[in-house]
């Protein structure tokens, strides 16, 4: 028997007050009715919204669903009318299908393996310690976002790619502008163009003077400068904002769940599991789109060729059929296999790097500041809007008891 067809009439624009870690109530309710709902986009396109875990995973693994940018014409909250969307520029492989996608992903895979990333652990520890030293010296009291969550992944990805961290003023704010979900179209275009200019100069500088890093390694391939720029953009934009938001929102979630925080402090061996649970629970990369390339039968429904499907990773990661008691943060959970890094050919290339960063930085923070706490009431913590591609806190005021002699 096919599931009855439900319609969700508009994408929710906010989370339930007091529940900053849960997906919007409307999405949780939609999943409770059915893992798939009809979703009429504001421009009139009849699309779909998928909120169930099994169905989301199946679509992510199915080559009949495309990630091609030129097919992504419909926006879930804005009516752009009948616009032409150009294909993804060379190198920007997140929004490509095979075989174009593999041309860029393949040369990178070996540079982001578990082994390679483990070798980086010591450097991540040093970078983390330096930032904790600076935070401690300047405190007590800090904005955890600017003192800790943002700079640590930014330094790491810059070093790995060979992007001078001193140049961050030329790309970091611009990339934040793409991802924070609050900029107008003109501001977005200006930020994109400025980042492109910076990356063009960077690739030219590497050609002239290669160094020991991922970008320089790629110079030996047949990739053009334009392609390298596109790849650098994807790696930079995917590489720091996601992990930064996991660090800050993850700390906020732990501070709001003191018994879980105490369990992690008491048993440092819990950290790998704890990081997986925080990834599932927070799902900062909330949702992605796919477009059906042909008619596809799923859960008793026909997804029509050309239909845009919104995959709500955050709601799929709260599916009670996959994760018992899904809205509880349980660091000892052993269910595994969350979709926070997606699945299929676009599954996060940097997931091992993100894991190393989270497994190092979160325990180091808790260890350095045993009395870490919010410096403002939890309701006053400023959150990113639902329109942001990547969810998180804008700032996280924290404080602690100064115990060390300066
Ligand atoms: C792709 C999440 C950190 C690089 C993705 C996707 C997700 C994701 C959900 C797949 C999108 C889709 O299916 O369309 C995250 C989260 C992170 C994180 C939650 C942190 C906790 C990183 C880091 C890097 C990175 C540190 C650094 C290199 C990439 C790249 C892709 C990607 C290059 C595109 C892969 C492809 O299209 O083949 N990420 N990511 N990510 N991520 Fe991450």
Quick: pLDDT tens for 107-129: 999 888 888 888 889 999 999 99
C-alpha 364/C-alpha 185 separation (Å) is 39
Q: Is 254 exposed, middle or buried (0-12, 13-18, 19+ CB in 10 A)?
A: buried
Q: Tell me which residue has its CA closest to atom 39 in ligand 1.
A: 348
* DSSP letter (8 states) at residue 336: -
pLDDT score, position 194: 87
pLDDT score, position 74: 92
- Dihedral sign from CA coordinates of 352, 357, 275, 317: negative
Q: Tell me which residue has its CA closest to atom 34 in ligand 1.
A: 94
Q: Tell me which residue has its CA closest to atom 2 in ligand 1.
A: 341
pLDDT score, position 323: 96
Place of tokens 């275009």: 189
Mutate to test the pocket of ligand 1, among 114, 238, 392 (most ligand atoms within 8 A of CB): 238
Taking the centre of ligand 1 as the mean of its atom positions, its distance from the CA of residue 292, in whole angstroms, is 22
pLDDT at 170 over 90: no
Residue 381 — pLDDT band, cuts 50, 70, 90? Answer: very high
Whether 94 is in the pocket of ligand 1, judged by its Cβ within 6 Å, is: yes
pLDDT at 30 over 50: yes
Whether 246 is in the pocket of ligand 1, judged by its Cβ within 6 Å, is: yes
> How many residues are present in the chain?
406
Phi, psi angle pair for 39, to nearest 5°: -135, 105
Residue 3 — pLDDT band, cuts 50, 70, 90? Answer: low
Mutate to test the pocket of ligand 1, among 88, 92, 350, 353 (most ligand atoms within 8 A of CB): 350
Taking the centre of ligand 1 as the mean of its atom positions, its distance from the CA of residue 377, in whole angstroms, is 32
pLDDT score, position 404: 57
Residue 179 — pLDDT band, cuts 50, 70, 90? Answer: low
pLDDT at 204 over 50: yes
C-alpha 59/C-alpha 290 separation (Å) is 8
pLDDT score, position 220: 87
Domains, the chain: 25-399 (1.10.630.10)
Q: Tell me which residue has its CA closest to atom 21 in ligand 1.
A: 243
Q: Which atom of ligand 1 is nearest to the CA of 357?
A: 26
pLDDT score, position 336: 78
Whether 162 is in the pocket of ligand 1, judged by its Cβ within 6 Å, is: no
Whether 284 is in the pocket of ligand 1, judged by its Cβ within 6 Å, is: yes
Taking the centre of ligand 1 as the mean of its atom positions, its distance from the CA of residue 234, in whole angstroms, is 9
Mutate to test the pocket of ligand 1, among 93, 152, 242 (most ligand atoms within 8 A of CB): 242
C-alpha 177/C-alpha 352 separation (Å) is 26
Q: What are 325-360's pLDDT values in tens digits?
A: 999 999 999 877 999 999 999 999 999 999 999 999
Q: Which atom of ligand 1 is nearest to the CA of 234?
A: 33
pLDDT score, position 406: 47
Whether 350 is in the pocket of ligand 1, judged by its Cβ within 6 Å, is: yes
Residue 57 — pLDDT band, cuts 50, 70, 90? Answer: very high
pLDDT score, position 190: 84
End-to-end CA separation in angstroms for the chain: 69
Q: Which atom of ligand 1 is nearest to the CA of 112?
A: 28
Q: What is the mean pLDDT of the chain?
A: 92
C-alpha 355/C-alpha 121 separation (Å) is 10
Q: What pTM was computed for the model?
A: 0.95
Taking the centre of ligand 1 as the mean of its atom positions, its distance from the CA of residue 22, in whole angstroms, is 21
Whether 238 is in the pocket of ligand 1, judged by its Cβ within 6 Å, is: yes
- Dihedral sign from CA coordinates of 115, 116, 118, 122: positive
359-387 mean pLDDT? 95
pLDDT score, position 4: 62
Phi, psi angle pair for 111, to nearest 5°: -90, -5
Whether 239 is in the pocket of ligand 1, judged by its Cβ within 6 Å, is: yes
Taking the centre of ligand 1 as the mean of its atom positions, its distance from the CA of residue 2, in whole angstroms, is 33
Contacts 24+ apart (CB under 8 A), 264-267: 264/331, 264/363, 264/366, 265/366, 265/370
């Amino acid at each position: 028997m096919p599931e009855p067809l439900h319609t969700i009439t508009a994408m929710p624009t906010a989370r339930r007050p007091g529940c900053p870690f849960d997906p919007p109530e409307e999405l949780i309710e939609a999943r409770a009715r059915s893992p798939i709902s009809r979703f009429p986009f504001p421009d009139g396109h009849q699309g779909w919204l998928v909120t169930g875990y099994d169905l989301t995973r199946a679509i992510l693994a199915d080559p009949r669903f495309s990630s091609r940018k030129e097919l992504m014409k419909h926006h879930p909250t804005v009516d752009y009318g009948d616009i032409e969307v150009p294909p993804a520029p060379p190198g920007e492989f997140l929004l490509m299908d095979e075989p174009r996608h593999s041309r860029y992903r393949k040369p990178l895979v070996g540079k982001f393996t578990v082994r390679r990333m483990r070798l980086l652990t010591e450097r991540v520890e040093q970078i983390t310690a330096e930032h904790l030293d600076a935070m401690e010296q300047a405190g007590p009291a800090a904005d955890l976002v600017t003192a800790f969550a943002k700079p640590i992944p930014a330094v790491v990805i810059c070093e790995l790619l060979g992007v001078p961290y001193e140049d961050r003023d030329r790309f970091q704010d611009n990339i934040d502008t793409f991802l924070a979900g609050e900029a107008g179209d003109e501001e977005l275009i200006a930020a994109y163009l400025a980042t492109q200019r910076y990356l063009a100069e960077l690739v030219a500088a590497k050609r002239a003077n290669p160094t020991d890093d991922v970008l320089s390694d790629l110079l030996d391939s047949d990739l053009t400068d334009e392609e390298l720029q596109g790849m650098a953009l994807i790696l930079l934009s995917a590489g720091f904002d996601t992990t930064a938001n996991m660090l800050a929102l993850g700390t906020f979630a732990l501070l709001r769940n003191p018994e879980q925080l105490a369990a992690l402090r008491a048993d440092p061996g819990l950290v790998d599991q704890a990081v997986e649970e925080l990834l599932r629970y927070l799902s900062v990369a909330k949702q992605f789109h796919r477009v059906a390339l042909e008619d596809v039968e799923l859960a008793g429904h026909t997804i029509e060729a050309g239909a845009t499907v919104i995959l709500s990773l955050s709601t799929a990661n709260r599916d009670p059929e996959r994760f018992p008691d899904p809205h509880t943060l349980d660091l000892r959970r052993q269910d595994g296999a969350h979709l926070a890094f997606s699945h299929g050919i676009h599954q996060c290339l940097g997931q091992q790097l993100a894991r190393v960063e989270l497994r190092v930085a979160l325990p180091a923070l808790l260890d350095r500041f045993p009395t870490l706490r919010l410096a403002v009431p939890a309701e006053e913590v400023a959150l990113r809007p639902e329109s942001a591609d990547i969810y998180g806190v804008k700032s996280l005021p924290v404080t602690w008891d100064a115990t060390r002699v300066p």
